[in-house]
């Protein structure tokens, strides 16, 4: 069993990380940490009374049997913790986004390389059957691709003060594009591996009571002439269905992320298909993490994947504030970084988890 500590006891940890660890046959929860002692005790009680801490430094200093640490922390806090965990030669599963700035993301990339550590970013949506299904079909649609993704989440409910405060904090310290859009950038990269070359974005704040923009429209252009149009809508009173459309010279695919129903036109034929709708796949994520620990390195949802997503969403933020298109070079110049931001080379498509063939219903 892999002995793991959980740092951060918020909503994502409660609904996803904690129950997955407790139900896993690969992981054993050894310790809990949260700045709120009541939350730490709640999690500890659910885990059978494991040690609880309010300071992550104390947890790392006292729990010498740990093999890994799961971080469910805000991105403005997590990088310092990641660097220390890697220094102790412990594996890390870190919630996305990887950081709030590209400079901090690069610092994590350097730390992973320096310590040769196991680092996996929590892109939990990439393990969905629909992601793999589109990955398998994308080559048949031809190039260039025109990809359109619309994601509507975090419905506005003034009566749910805790949820509203959490989302307002995300918008204040980062952006809806970085938090939600990083998922999109990640799974779309599994369908098209071409480096990005230009980003344009417009952001809207639909209420003066919000702490920042809650609606984003972004266009990402890639070296192979493909495009990705992303719309993110948070804190709307009613949420339209989230949808995905992939157009290519040889065909078209439409998918409703809420119902799981889709339509494919390719090779002169067409068919309807149905797959499980969009949802986080916690068990698959943790199985991938366990495999990475066994192997001694992560090759899915890597630190490079996290940095790439952060760079693209940072370019969206810069474009929205400047009103200009942003390139890797202009992003690096605006952020005071040396050279262009990282632009990974093309690589061979591979499965988002243990090899599987996805068949639509």
DSSP characters over 50-117: --EES-HHHHHHH-TT-SEEEE---TTTHHHHHHHHHHTT-EEEEESSS-SSHHHHHHHHHHHHHHT-
When pLDDT is averaged across residues 6-34 and rounded to a whole number, the result is 97
How many domains does the chain contain in total? Answer: 2
Q: Is the pLDDT of residue 8 over 80?
A: yes
Q: Is the pLDDT of residue 314 over 80?
A: yes
- Which pLDDT value is given to residue 361? 57
pLDDT band at 146 (very low <50, low <70, confident <90, very high): very high
Closest-CA residue to 345 (of 193, 181, 149): 193
**In this structure, are 271 and 288 located in the same domain?**
no
Is 42 contained in some domain? yes
Is 353 contained in some domain? no
Tokens (6 digits) for 37:
């002692």
Domain harbouring 222, CATH code: 3.30.360.10
For residue 118, whether the previous peptide bond is cis, meaning omega lies within 30 degrees of 0, is no
C-alpha span between 223 and 213 (Å, rounded)? 29
Angle between helices 102-115 and 328-335 (to 10 degrees): 100
Q: Is the pLDDT of residue 20 over 90?
A: yes
**In this structure, are 100 and 120 located in the same domain?**
yes
- Which pLDDT value is given to residue 359? 58
When pLDDT is averaged across residues 14-29 and rounded to a whole number, the result is 98
- Which pLDDT value is given to residue 355? 46
C-alpha span between 183 and 306 (Å, rounded)? 9
At residue 195, φ and ψ (nearest 5 deg) are -65, 150
- Average pLDDT of the chain? 94
pLDDT band at 278 (very low <50, low <70, confident <90, very high): very high
Please give the residue range of the domain that contains residue 115: 2-125+282-300
Q: Is the pLDDT of residue 6 over 80?
A: yes
Is 342 contained in some domain? no
- Which pLDDT value is given to residue 353? 46
Is 112 contained in some domain? yes
pLDDT band at 140 (very low <50, low <70, confident <90, very high): very high
Domain harbouring 59, CATH code: 3.40.50.720
- Which pLDDT value is given to residue 338? 77
- Which pLDDT value is given to residue 343? 47
Tokens (6 digits) for 149:
């993704």
When pLDDT is averaged across residues 292-319 and rounded to a whole number, the result is 97
Contact yes or no for 119/94 (Cβ under 8 A): yes
C-alpha span between 189 and 191 (Å, rounded)? 5
Contact yes or no for 177/203 (Cβ under 8 A): yes
**In this structure, are 76 and 180 located in the same domain?**
no
C-alpha span between 316 and 175 (Å, rounded)? 10
Q: Which long-range contacts (CB under 8 A, 24 or more apart) does 355-360 make?
A: 356/132, 357/136, 358/129, 358/130, 358/132, 358/133, 358/136, 358/275, 360/133, 360/262, 360/273, 360/274, 360/275
Q: What is the pLDDT of residues 187-221, one digit of tens each?
A: 999 999 999 999 999 999 999 999 999 999 999 99
pLDDT band at 252 (very low <50, low <70, confident <90, very high): very high
Q: Which of 113-117, 283-287, 304-308, 342-346 has the lowest mean pLDDT?
A: 342-346
When pLDDT is averaged across residues 317-335 and rounded to a whole number, the result is 96
Is 8 contained in some domain? yes
C-alpha span between 247 and 269 (Å, rounded)? 15
Is 77 contained in some domain? yes
**In this structure, are 77 and 178 located in the same domain?**
no
**In this structure, are 121 and 213 located in the same domain?**
no
**In this structure, are 188 and 260 located in the same domain?**
yes
**In this structure, are 216 and 293 located in the same domain?**
no
Q: What is the pLDDT of residues 63-92, one digit of tens each?
A: 999 999 999 999 999 999 999 999 999 999
Give me the DSSP letters along 276-329. PPS---HHHHHHHHHHHHHHTS--SS-HHHHHHHHHHHHHHHHHHHH-S-B-HH
**In this structure, are 90 and 20 located in the same domain?**
yes
**In this structure, are 149 and 91 located in the same domain?**
no
Is 344 contained in some domain? no
When pLDDT is averaged across residues 94-111 and rounded to a whole number, the result is 95
**In this structure, are 163 and 92 located in the same domain?**
no
When pLDDT is averaged across residues 138-149 and rounded to a whole number, the result is 98
pLDDT band at 248 (very low <50, low <70, confident <90, very high): very high
Which residues, 6+ apart, have CB-to-CB distance to 216 below 8 Å?
Answer: 175, 176, 177, 181, 201, 202, 203, 204, 230, 231, 232, 233, 316, 320
**In this structure, are 295 and 247 located in the same domain?**
no
When pLDDT is averaged across residues 47-53 and rounded to a whole number, the result is 98
Helices (H) and strands (E) in the chain, counts: 12, 14
Tokens (6 digits) for 60:
């790392």
- Which pLDDT value is given to residue 114? 96
**In this structure, are 212 and 223 located in the same domain?**
yes
Is 356 contained in some domain? no
List for the chain the helix, strand, coil content (%; round to 5). 40, 25, 35
């Amino acid at each position: 069993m892999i002995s793991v500590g959980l740092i951060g006891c918020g909503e994502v940890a409660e609904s996803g990380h904690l129950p997955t660890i407790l139900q896993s046959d690969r992981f054993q929860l050894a310790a809990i940490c949260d700045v709120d002692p009541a939350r730490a005790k709640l999690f500890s009680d659910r885990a059978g009374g494991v040690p609880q801490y309010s300071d992550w430094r104390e947890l790392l200093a006292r729990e010498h049997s740990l093999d890994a640490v799961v971080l469910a922390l805000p991105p403005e806090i997590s990088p310092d913790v990641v660097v220390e965990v890697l220094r102790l030669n412990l594996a890390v599963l870190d919630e996305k986004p990887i950081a709030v700035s590209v400079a901090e993301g690069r610092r994590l990339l350097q730390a992973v390389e320096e310590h040769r550590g196991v680092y996996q970013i929590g892109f939990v949506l990439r393990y969905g059957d629909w992601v793999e299904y589109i990955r398998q079909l994308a080559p048949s649609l031809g190039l260039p691709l025109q990809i359109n993704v619309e994601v509507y989440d975090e419905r506005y409910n003034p009566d749910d003060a805790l949820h509203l405060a959490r989302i307002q904090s995300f918008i204040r310290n980062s952006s809806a594009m970085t938090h939600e859009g990083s998922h999109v950038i990640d799974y779309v990269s599994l369908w098209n591996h071409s480096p990005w070359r230009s980003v344009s974005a417009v952001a809207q704040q639909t209420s003066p009571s919000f702490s920042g923009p809650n609606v984003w429209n972004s266009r990402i252009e890639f070296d192979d002439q493909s495009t990705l149009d992303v719309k993110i809508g948070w804190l709307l009173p009613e949420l339209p269905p989230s949808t995905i459309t992939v157009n290519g010279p040889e065909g078209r695919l439409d998918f409703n992320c809420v119902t799981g129903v889709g339509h494919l036109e390719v090779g002169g034929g067409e068919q309807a298909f149905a797959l499980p709708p969009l949802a986080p796949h916690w068990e698959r994520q943790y199985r991938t993490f366990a495999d990475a620990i066994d192997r001694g390195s992560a090759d899915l949802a890597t630190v490079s994947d996290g940095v790439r997503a952060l760079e693209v969403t940072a370019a969206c933020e810069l474009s929205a504030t400047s009103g200009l298109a942003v390139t890797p070079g202009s992003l690096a110049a605006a952020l005071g970084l040396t050279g262009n931001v990282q632009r990974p080379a093309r690589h061979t498509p591979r499965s988002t988890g243990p090899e599987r063939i996805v068949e639509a219903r």
